[in-house]
Structure 1
């Protein structure tokens, strides 16, 4: 598992080094839009650092690391079925060396093995005049390399806030950079074709590049040799996969929530097993353990699972997932298990940001309802804009109080809101104490707001607060794209009823006896009331307070 994280880091580092080289190379092509002389002058700044011992060594190490990682990833896969984005990136990546050999045979490899001295004029002469098919291969190579790089970056960073905000600008760059680079290449080719009309110019360029009558054939043989080596190398992991299948081993049974029961290949991830049996499952990052869209709840067999590795643990920690939630792309079970997908199969990277531990669980929770008193009368006396301004400031103070005391804003209803305490951990006393602290902060915030708006209000704003403790279904709910962490159930309904009782008792806070007991609080001398709540057999006991108790 640790090795997996190191491999991921090396793959990223190698990819970024290669991307830096590609951007420099394409920028150099763009200079040909000015002139061929400008491109040759730019080569000294943009490309010569990559041709030195340090730059060349770094680029070679990055290329070999990235290439070896790709071959290992092919071998490691238990199925070749995968998502469209992942298949597209892999296919482009395996195509790159075939096309790159045609280019390298006349440049870097030709210089090292054939004693050539290539430059922009000679390379463009070969691609546009002497062997135009090489020029077509060059144009395709630019698009394939750029497409592979962009798809890789999208798979890795898709769904992250900064990436999503920058996506329109990144898309523009993704189109502009190769377009200008190819335009510069075409412009340089046109300049070379005009100059090639002069035999003396052509002879001088060929002589400076040390190109003779057999050079085109020699570079073609060199390119074919490189392609053959690449073909042999990419065949190796596929052959290894076949041998692994022959080896056999115990095949764990995987039971899906849709009723399908399948046998997994030994060493297969849950995601690979689902893909191999054509069971649709979300995987926005291509199974790299980043987006968390492939998350599943393990219904049975969780106690026999290996602990998450660093990569999976980091991703699960980011969404605060409980122990029974795992990533299908990283989970390689050795025993039978039953799973429930937690996101729809068409989930995108942005959906991976949803909280992972509250997707529908029964738990004990503190529910708080807050309501602004007299808002209807206030709305009749104020212009709509003024009313919305007051409500905005009211909610601002309330949410600040929640944030300061560890509460979670759940939703609002007109002139009131619902909040939850105790989402993390199981300390009921701590949750109730925090809820009361939040109520005090809310009162202080309302006092501050009344002072600031004294000239705008005929009477100070008032509010009612209801607090209750009990069992509720807590989780992410709501329509796609607008989901929130909230709660439903009898506890929520009872809290709303308790908040309404603040009007009947003309008080600030109604605290249920259940919440007081959960918080370890007692109020000698304070009368305990009862109220019947619709849907409940037993009456609910509560305390009514004119101010928030304790501190």
Structure 2
């Protein structure tokens, strides 16, 4: 970042000097003296060319560390721009800076502008180098700053500035060059006191060095790395060579994975929850620990761009609509619609509107995201899928790929985990909440239509039908009875639980004929013991009959 800022400052002052051509060449010359006083002094020279060297070496190191070249187009453009514009600048640097260092004489705008203007190819090359260098810097700035909370407020101003600087520089170059009489093209960069052979040798040496460095880096990437590991996602598993980061593994496999900062560990959008194998992975670096501490991430959360696993692991991306819960890839038949018996869970926060009015917007969003993370983790680990988040509520579906009995058992397990997770949130935010978070859940099981529903990017695999409506109504009844869960007796029976001693209610549901037998559960954690007893009963072998 420091070398990028230094080079960006050089470009800004250099292009501002060019822009003065809109005033006059004399104004350009006057500013050039100040510019040279700063950047051609010993401290300025060391700072500028040291930053250029370090920046180039770091870019090669970054290219080498990339285990895959599949990346977003912006990241690819930044790399291409960064590696190409040194070649465009070599001749210009040799005939201005190096010539000046060797002879003590440097051409000014009165000499350089007409030479550039007299050769269309060279003028185009230098203009392209100007645009590429500035574009590279702007992309770097964008990756660095776009995650800051203040950036959207000043985006239009920054964007306008980014467009105006190269535009004014190019216009200043054109206006300044046209105001000076042209000189013959064969005088282009004709050395004053230095032999052409010496400058040519320097030019070739620099070109060969740059090309060799890039070539060696690309060849080194092709050397196979021994050993492979297996990374398991919620919906698939992939094998990659050791040395891949989790983010690179996602990209190599074509799995959507958010990363605002471009994989540099400066944001937390690529973070993943490690569900298995964390203890055998390399520890987080200081930079990764700082980012995770800033968002108060639990111990099993790591940054995908920084985690380079050396053993098998299972992960679940946290952020992104496609990465919440299990990502379902529907077949054509599923997308068209099919009927299936499923279990449906509605979960909602009680009195959240009042809570949001008492919190700052950032705190509200942070708390809500932690709550959704708790629900998503509970549903995912139980084998279900988050269908959608609605305000402060969530809809989860169980049984897309298994039996109704297994789906109901999974749904009840999810309610237990959600209840425990909300208790943990209340303990963690005890000092910040006037009242603890309270949830209301409704659950029902039965037939539903599963299909790809929506329009454009807003379409998704979801479920519709009377079962979903009934579960939604039961969530409202849980609030009326001041309980955590209202579950239909059908779910309990499908799950194989015995609750003969628990009182049930025959509830009328609007739009549905008849009544629905429902159990009102004050604390969903009560089901944990019942499910453990049912599982133990199934594991006990039957005794042989007495002879």
Q: Same fold (TM over 0.5)?
A: yes
Shift of 1:322: 2.4
- Correspondences of 1:160-179 after superposition (within 5 Å): 160-179=148-167
Say if 1:539 and 1:75 are closer, same or farther in 2 by CA, change over 3 A.
Answer: closer
Say if 1:302 and 1:114 are closer, same or farther in 2 by CA, change over 3 A.
Answer: same
1:225 is aligned to 205
- Provide the TM-score with structure 1 as the length reference: 0.62
Cα distance in 2, alignment partners of residues 308 and 424 from structure 1: 28
Quick check: 112-121 or 83-92, which moved more? Answer: 112-121
Say if 1:397 and 1:143 are closer, same or farther in 2 by CA, change over 3 A.
Answer: closer
1:497 is aligned to 480
Cα distance in 1, alignment partners of residues 173 and 159 from structure 2: 22
Say if 1:494 and 1:533 are closer, same or farther in 2 by CA, change over 3 A.
Answer: farther
Say if 1:432 and 1:182 are closer, same or farther in 2 by CA, change over 3 A.
Answer: closer
C-alpha offsets along residues 445-493 of structure 1, whole Å, 9 cap, x if unaligned? xxxxxxxxxxxxxxxxxxxxxx8578899xxxxx999xxxxxx999974
Matching of residue 308 in structure 1 with residue 288 in structure 2: no
1:76 is aligned to 65
1:141 is aligned to 129
Shift of 1:94: 0.3
Quick check: 139-148 or 153-162, which moved more? Answer: 153-162
- Correspondences of 1:146-161 after superposition (within 5 Å): 146-161=134-149
Matching of residue 56 in structure 1 with residue 37 in structure 2: no
Residue ranges of structure 2 left out of the alignment (5+ in a row): 324-346, 372-390, 394-417, 444-454, 459-470, 485-502, 508-516, 524-547
Shift of 1:241: 2.2
Contact kept? 1:280, 1:345, Cα under 8 Å: no
Say if 1:434 and 1:49 are closer, same or farther in 2 by CA, change over 3 A.
Answer: closer
Matching of residue 284 in structure 1 with residue 246 in structure 2: no
- From 112, 135, 139, the equivalent of 2:101 is 112
Shift of 1:59: 1.2
Matching of residue 399 in structure 1 with residue 362 in structure 2: no
Task: Detail structure 1 runs of 4+ shifted over 6 Å in the superposition.
Answer: 401-407, 420-425, 429-434, 469-473, 488-492, 530-533
Matching of residue 23 in structure 1 with residue 12 in structure 2: yes
Matching of residue 103 in structure 1 with residue 85 in structure 2: no
Contact kept? 2:68, 2:248, Cα under 8 Å: yes
- From 417, 424, 427, the equivalent of 1:426 is 424
Matching of residue 262 in structure 1 with residue 251 in structure 2: no
Say if 1:187 and 1:425 are closer, same or farther in 2 by CA, change over 3 A.
Answer: farther
Number of residue pairs matched by the alignment? 409
1:442 is aligned to none
Please tell me the root mean square deviation across aligned C-alpha atoms, in Å: 4.6
Cα distance in 2, alignment partners of residues 116 and 433 from structure 1: 70
SS at match of 2:228: coil
SS at match of 1:38: helix
Say if 1:112 and 1:434 are closer, same or farther in 2 by CA, change over 3 A.
Answer: closer
- Provide the TM-score with structure 2 as the length reference: 0.63
Contact kept? 2:348, 2:392, Cα under 8 Å: no
Matching of residue 299 in structure 1 with residue 275 in structure 2: yes
C-alpha offsets along residues 201-223 of structure 1, whole Å, 9 cap, x if unaligned? x99x99xx9627965x7645543
Shift of 1:290: 2.4
Say if 1:212 and 1:53 are closer, same or farther in 2 by CA, change over 3 A.
Answer: closer
Matching of residue 236 in structure 1 with residue 213 in structure 2: no
Say if 1:536 and 1:159 are closer, same or farther in 2 by CA, change over 3 A.
Answer: farther
C-alpha offsets along residues 273-307 of structure 1, whole Å, 9 cap, x if unaligned? 23333434333322112233322222322232223
- Correspondences of 1:340-489 after superposition (within 5 Å): 340-344=316-320, 368-369=350-351, 398-399=357-358, 426=424, 437-438=434-435, 468=438
Cα distance in 1, alignment partners of residues 16 and 89 from structure 2: 18
Say if 1:491 and 1:67 are closer, same or farther in 2 by CA, change over 3 A.
Answer: farther
Cα distance in 2, alignment partners of residues 37 and 366 from structure 1: 71
- From 251, 272, 277, the equivalent of 2:248 is 272
Cα distance in 2, alignment partners of residues 407 and 115 from structure 1: 61
SS at match of 1:298: strand
Cα distance in 2, alignment partners of residues 80 and 319 from structure 1: 30
Cα distance in 2, alignment partners of residues 173 and 127 from structure 1: 26
Cα distance in 1, alignment partners of residues 362 and 116 from structure 2: 64
Residue ranges of structure 1 left out of the alignment (5+ in a row): 1-11, 348-364, 372-394, 440-466, 474-478, 482-487, 500-510, 513-529, 542-551
Cα distance in 1, alignment partners of residues 116 and 139 from structure 2: 28
Shift of 1:92: 0.4
Cα distance in 2, alignment partners of residues 53 and 294 from structure 1: 42
Contact kept? 2:349, 2:392, Cα under 8 Å: no
Shift of 1:536: 4.7
C-alpha offsets along residues 183-215 of structure 1, whole Å, 9 cap, x if unaligned? 001111112236x59xxxx99x99xx9627965
Say if 1:490 and 1:127 are closer, same or farther in 2 by CA, change over 3 A.
Answer: same
Cα distance in 2, alignment partners of residues 397 and 262 from structure 1: 41
SS at match of 1:188: helix
Say if 1:100 and 1:83 are closer, same or farther in 2 by CA, change over 3 A.
Answer: same
Cα distance in 1, alignment partners of residues 520 and 120 from structure 2: 88
